[in-house]
Amino acid sequence: MMSQADTRPAIEFRHVSYRVNGDASRELLHDLNLEVQRGETLVLLGRSGSGKTTTLKLINHLLTPSEGELRVEARLTRDWDVIRLRRMIGYVIQEVGLFPHFTVERNIGLVPKIENWPARRIADRVRELLALVGLDPEIGSRYPRELSGGQRQRVGVARALAADPPILLMDEPFGALDPITRAELQREFLGLQKRLRKTVVFVTHDLREGLFLGTRIALMEAGRLVTVQTAEEFPACAEPLAAAYTSAFGTGV
């Protein structure tokens, strides 16, 4: 039987707002109420400026709520040691953010090394993760500049998973790739998530990507949450903005 802690949301927003330097005229997020359940992929869908990336940055405490309460693993973010919080959250971004002067192996093993894992355990974990994301182990000795865009993105996912964090934040991770590589990585990520069952918050402006990868879709606009629907329900949602997305992307039922 699951404990009470296990049944709580992995991430919980309660009336969270964020204003730049507390300036009411620069509110990026308004009164957000949202839960992310353990093991689901919650997609934050919306246009640029809708508050998606701000929401991610609040989760790993790169930003602090101006109002409201945000809990990660049932603890207020302000009560977490920020280093411990961030080490239990993997972060994957569009630009990947690999260290150019580190080899692939060193990039992936960075957090385990900071966590003082033994060298052999790090090496084994790097090999395991390269295989997991579909890369040959020999690539570990290369530098990011020697990789294709798709390979760099796979390494970015491997690095985010290195210390086995329970939560992944993904900010348009496949957005800069060509359509064929993007489709390949989407399929690979979906298979990976079915195996690992991480709690994932995935930012995109592409409804097709959201429907393919997401358990639920949280639609945002101008810093406000518009609606939350399952991936199956979203195409039939009558909410005007949701219907506009469905029409624009040709994903109607």
pLDDT higher than 70, residue 1 = no
Residue 237 has pLDDT above 60, yes or no: yes
Structural tokens at position 131 = 């295989």
Is pLDDT at 27 greater than 80 in this prediction?
yes
pLDDT number for residue 21 = 85
- Would you state the pLDDT for residue 251? 62
Residues 123-142, mean pLDDT to the nearest whole number: 92
Quick check: 245 pLDDT over 80? yes
pLDDT reported for residue 175:
80
pLDDT band at 253 (very low <50, low <70, confident <90, very high): very low
Sign of CA dihedral 55, 60, 62, 65: positive
pLDDT for the residue 81: 94
Mean pLDDT value across residues 195-216: 94
pLDDT score of 67:
96
Q: Where are the alpha helices (DSSP H) in the chain?
A: 4-7, 52-59, 82-87, 104-108, 110-114, 119-132, 149-161, 179-196, 207-213, 240-249
d(CA 216, CA 200): 11
Question: pLDDT averaged over the chain?
Answer: 91
Average pLDDT over residues 45-63: 94
> Which tens digits make up the pLDDT trace of 70-110?
999 999 999 999 999 998 999 988 766 889 999 999 999 99
pLDDT above 70 coverage of the chain, percent: 96
Identify the burial level of 23 via C-beta atoms within 10 angstroms of its C-beta, where 0-12 means exposed, 13-18 middle and 19 or more buried: exposed
Per-domain residue ranges for the chain?
Answer: 96-165
pLDDT in tens, 106-122: 999 999 999 999 999 99
Specify the pLDDT at position 96.
67
For 145-202, the pLDDT digits (tens) are 999 888 998 999 999 999 899 999 999 888 878 888 889 889 989 998 998 999 999 9
Q: Which two tokens stand for residue 45?
A: 């869908």
